[in-house]
Amino acid sequence: MCQVRKCQNKVERVTQRSLRLRTAASVGLMLISFFAAPTHATENETIGFVVRDWVTAVYNSQFIDECPEGLAISNDELWWRSLAKDERAQLTNNGQRSKLERYPTAMRRGPDGENVCLNPTVVTDPPMRVIEGIYSYGANLDGNSDGRAMPKTCAHENFNHPDGTTGIDNQMYRLVGCVPGWRKGGLTEMIANERRAQNGLGMILIEITGVEDARNDDDVTVAFYRSVDPFAMAGDGQPLPFSSYTIDMAGAKPRYGDSLKGQITNGVLTTDRGDVSLPFYANYTFMHPIIKDMDLRLEIARDGASATGLVTGYYDTDAFLHYIGGMQGHTSSGASCPAIQCSLALKSCVRRYM
């Protein structure tokens, strides 16, 4: 069962992300910030980056004013609060068992021991605590500032950017912004980034071709690939700039390879919008998300050795729920799978993008 609150303006599948990169030879549907490492940078030819960090762009105020009811209630807390006092003391060793040790039991809190992340409708959780603030990072994706319904989106509440820009459409932030694992310094994305650095899975390569001037060029092409090589690491544990990576191939063609037209102005790359399929791996879950109407804004360091950027677009909620289910209520997220599923229950709105 679901208890949905204010779903009409909470579930639009707008996502925006920011990233940090270093050139070597990243991106998404929520607001993301990324860091990459350069692979190869040759003026008049090609600039390449590998995505090091991929994080959802969330606005965090000093006193969490954007979450007036507090942070989201975790799967673990919902489990132990449902227990009788004696049973709670026994199963948690009077609170001395760590969350990680309790995790296998807590996620199977369905009435017949079901895993509630794989079967989110078998329990009735409290409504999801979502963002109620007015500020968000991101972009105006639908072209209006009043939140009215548009051909590709349903009506929703817009945000204001901290710099004063209106009409920000970062609805992914509205959904996960009160979940501890997605807030600044949260374990969900920190663990995902560090694991990718260790195992090299789901690595995104960005290739900028047709470059005549690395600081100013009004016509370049930006393509997105997957690397089959792990990160080449420097002594400080960060990706080694100007390394080489092998593109994942499916026969004679790259497995990924969608591209966008773009331009570079004073070292800042911006692209047109288009649909882009990207590789993704995090928290033991593989995905192949397609970001609709995606664009990339990338600020390239003058030495070409690193870059920071922002990706915006529309992200499929089924893909996101696949990711949530794959984590199976892990304690690092501080989330409740059924509550997230419930907040995305109005599929008529979520699926409106064409």
**C-alpha angle with apex 166: 162 to 172, nearest 5 degrees?**
75
pLDDT digits (tens, 9 = 90+) for 34-46: 455 565 545 568 9
Contact 54, 316 (CB under 8 A): no
- Say what the pLDDT of residue 114 is: 95
Asked if pLDDT for residue 274 goes beyond 90, the answer is: yes
Please, are residues 49 and 40 in contact by the beta-carbon 8 Å criterion? no
pLDDT at residue number 154: 85
Mean pLDDT within 129-142? 94
**Per-residue model confidence (pLDDT) at position 331:** 64
**31 or 284: which carries more pLDDT confidence?**
284
DSSP collapsed to 3 states, 76-129: HHHHHHCCCHHHHHHHHCCCCCCHHHHHHHHCCCCCCCCCCCCCHHHCCCCCCC
pLDDT of residue 203: 92
pLDDT for residue 105 is more than 60: yes
Q: 19: pLDDT confidence band, cut at 50, 70 and 90?
A: low
pLDDT at 284 over 80: yes
* Percent of residues, the chain, with pLDDT higher than 90: 57
Cα→Cα distances 5→129, 197, 263, 308, 342, Å: 9, 38, 42, 36, 9
- For residue 59, pLDDT over 90 is answered with yes
Beta strands (DSSP E) in the chain are: 14-23, 32-42, 46-56, 204-209, 217-226, 249-250, 253-254, 259-265, 268-271, 274-277, 280-282, 285-287, 290-300, 307-314
pTM: 0.85
Give residue 40's pLDDT.
53
pLDDT of residue 319: 86
pLDDT at 347: 40
Asked if residue 71 has pLDDT above 60, the reply is yes
Name the residue with higher pLDDT: 213 or 36.
213
Ranking 15-29, 58-72, 146-160 by mean pLDDT, the lowest is 15-29
What is the per-residue pLDDT for 42? 52
User: Tokens in use for 213?
Assistant: 């001037």
pLDDT-derived band of residue 322, with 50, 70 and 90 as boundaries?
Answer: confident
- Of residues 191 and 152, the one with the higher pLDDT is 191
